[in-house]
Amino acid sequence: MLKRSLIACALVAGLTACNLTGQQTTTQVTTPSVANFKTYSAETFFDTTRIMGSAFRADAQKILISSDESGVLNLYEIDVKSGEKTQLTQSSETTYPHRYFPNDNRILFTRDNQGNERFHLFVRNEDGQVKDLTPGEKVRARFVGFSQDGNHFYVLSNKRDERFMDLYSFDAKTYESKLIYKNDQNLEVQRLSKTSRFIALSKNQGNKDTDLFLLDLKKPSAPLVEVSNVSHEAQFAAAAFSKDDKYLYYGTDAHGEFYQKWRYEIATQKHTPYIEKNWDIRFLYFSDSDRYRVVGVNEDSSMKVTVTDLKTGKDIKLPKLPAGSIKAVDFSADEKLMSFHLNSDTSPNNLFVWEVGSYSVKQLTSTLSDKINPEHLVESTIARFNSFDGLEVPGVLYKPKLASATNKVPAMIFVHGGPGGQSRTGYSARTQHLVNQGYAVFAVNNRGSSGYGKTFFHLDDKRHGEDDLQDIVWGKKYLQELDWVDPERIGIMGGSYGGYMTAAALAFEPEEFKVGINIFGVTNWVRTLESIPPWWESFRKALYEELGDPAVDSERLHRISPLFHAKNITKPLLVVQGANDPRVLQVESDELVEAVRSNNVPVEYVLFEDEGHGFTKKENRIEASQAYLDFLKQHL
């Protein structure tokens, strides 16, 4: 995922407080005595069901989700009372849920074509027939929302110009569309107000600076009103409008290290601090009536969600739940029911429903495979170490159940996507599979990661493959000091930017890691930056400030690209790639594999013809996870 997925992260990244003098620290982990400990296959871990979505039907009797129990995400609806699940689509393509129509049981959802990220918006009619509402080979579309009366819905689409997303209004009965905002200024439509009167728009001025504007659709010829109100570089992003259009809520890092929420009064243009934390506030939204507010805080690599009843001013208290963090909070139309997901390191997403104010909550799904004993899974801890220059670097550490000073285990450093992503706590079948098989995993949030303050976030600007790579090397040194890790058996793996870091580690620090697993990683930055998808046009400047402009910085980009230094790679390498990846092209992996094989180094290559930037089909995820394990068993 390049920065926001090559950029999205940069737009919302709260950037990290740096400790240049702190000592190495970690939460101490004791080795439990696990009776009848078992290891499980990749098939068993991915027998676990992946779900997403939590929207209620208008009558609050059903909830819409997507589930991959058929092998790929398809639409299902779950009966709120009985928990009975009914499959609604039977597609071989990954299907993402949006919501039911406000006044009937039709459904809007999104699909792309084998991972090409050209998402289209579809409607499923009540008779089960499906219609593509945004056809076109090069079209990319995104659902925005419904009008308050439910007679229209709004869609962003690049059908006019591949580079720019325009805003369209669709008739909810006929599906006829009308252009209501022509995006000819290279802006990003961020939010549409609930009355459909105002649009919040942003303009990327660089990777540290985003301007925020307001457009009144009743006065389309009037100049944009700038909401971003500081003279220095800062990020601004719209969060939500109030129901009555009185306020726009936005996030900004203009007033400190972290992303805070502010309130802008549209009539008076007055700005007021709204919610401030010592961590990034990643999201804020309201129920339809504005009674309930949902806030997510990115607290030390974990998302902490609170729901506040604005009528009383107090955070609601849920009945006793299993351990985990809630997310994907939704309300029924009458706001008497609340749905949400619960997730933890040892439990994948499960859907719950709660009658607000009652003393019990109902679990509607059970997604962990029945074959897995949760006691055999591992909870993470947050570990910190000092890097080469004294900078404190955090990471998410998973210790195998049977690891000890007398049973030292091999370890893998995992590097997240981005640049600018973040490894967080929460369930991962891939990670739990490796840890269950006896491999420690340390997901390092190297400098440049989001979630730890803007200073930390920008420390890797145009320093990729250099300072950030040294954080990974020093993360390895930290692992070598743990008495339960075998210091001579440490590898590196990661996807996208993490795949780049894997290849960079093997090319630029060839003696540090015993093996590398590169999952759709960039190997030639010049080519990647010259071939960014057209729909990222509005983020091009920010992307170039982060990584470099290939027309200007080609020498540096060539220097940090592993492909041009592949002769240095001497350690075994596994490469995994999706053939339809629009961000990191297949040629990136093809050429690296060919170059490293010419070194007479063991190289394995797994190519999925029906995947893109990330693997969505269960059979492919199983194959990839098994490939990681087989490779490590042979070479680590």
Beta carbons of 577 and 607 less than 8 angstroms apart: yes
Domain 51-363's class?
Answer: mainly beta
Look up residue 482 and give its amino acid. L
Task: Look at residue 535 in the predicted model and tell me its pLDDT.
Answer: 86
Q: Which residues contact 50 (CB under 8 A, 6 or more apart)?
A: 67, 68, 73, 348, 349, 367, 618
CATH 3.40.50.1820 positions along the chain are 2-26+39-43+372-635
Beta-bridge partner residues of 232: none
Where are any strands of DSSP class E within 374-449?
A: 381-386, 392-398, 409-415, 440-444
Phi, psi angles (nearest 5°) of residue 48: -60, 140
Strands lying side by side in the sheet with 152-161: 141-146, 152-161, 164-171, 177-181
Look up residue 51 and give its amino acid. I
Q: How far apart are CA 311 and CA 291, in angstroms?
A: 6
Task: Look at residue 35 in the predicted model and tell me its pLDDT.
Answer: 65
Residue-wise pLDDT for 268-295, tens only, equals 999 999 999 999 999 999 999 999 999 9
Cα torsion 478, 481, 485, 488: sign: positive
Residue segments in the chain with a per-residue pLDDT below the cut of 70? 1-35
Task: Look at residue 221 in the predicted model and tell me its pLDDT.
Answer: 87
Q: Produce one character per residue of 167-194: b if its CB has 16 or more CB atoms within 10 Å, e if not.
A: bbbbebeeeebeebbebeeebbbbbbbb
Task: Look at residue 33 in the predicted model and tell me its pLDDT.
Answer: 52
Q: For residue 335, count CB atoms less than 10 angstroms from its CB and return exposed for 0-12, middle for 13-18, buried for 19 or more.
A: middle
Q: For residue 58, count CB atoms less than 10 angstroms from its CB and return exposed for 0-12, middle for 13-18, buried for 19 or more.
A: middle
Task: Look at residue 34 in the predicted model and tell me its pLDDT.
Answer: 62
pTM: 0.93
Q: Say yes or no: domain 2-26+39-43+372-635 is CATH 3.40.50.720.
A: no
Strands lying side by side in the sheet with 573-578: 25-26, 381-386, 392-398, 440-444, 409-415, 485-495, 516-519, 573-578, 603-608
Residue-wise pLDDT for 40-54, tens only, equals 999 999 999 999 999
Look up residue 126 and give its amino acid. E
CATH 2.130.10.120 positions along the chain are 51-363
Task: Look at residue 564 in the predicted model and tell me its pLDDT.
Answer: 97
Beta-bridge partner residues of 139: none
Please state, as a whole number, how many other Cβ atoms lie within 10 Å of the Cβ of residue 116.
18
Q: Produce one character per residue of 63-76: b if its CB has 16 or more CB atoms within 10 Å, e if not.
A: bbbbbbbeebbbbb
Q: What is the DSSP letter of 407?
A: B
Task: Look at residue 220 in the predicted model and tell me its pLDDT.
Answer: 84
Look at residues 257, 258, 237, 259 and name the one whose alpha carbon lies nearest to residue 249: 237
Look at residues 589, 594, 590, 574 and name the one whose alpha carbon lies nearest to residue 517: 574
Q: For residue 268, count CB atoms less than 10 angstroms from its CB and return exposed for 0-12, middle for 13-18, buried for 19 or more.
A: exposed
Residue-wise pLDDT for 203-236, tens only, equals 999 999 999 999 999 998 899 999 999 999 999 9
Helix (H, G, I), strand (E, B) or coil at 353: strand
**Token duo for residue 376:** 């055999």
Q: How far apart are CA 276 and CA 274, in angstroms?
A: 7
Beta carbons of 51 and 349 less than 8 angstroms apart: yes
Task: Look at residue 15 in the predicted model and tell me its pLDDT.
Answer: 27
Where are any strands of DSSP class E within 364-469?
A: 381-386, 392-398, 409-415, 440-444
Rounded (5°) CA angle 519-525-528: 75
Q: How far apart are CA 199 and CA 189, in angstroms?
A: 7
Q: How far apart are CA 122 and CA 104, in angstroms?
A: 16
Beta carbons of 214 and 203 less than 8 angstroms apart: no
Residue-wise pLDDT for 609-619, tens only, equals 999 999 999 99
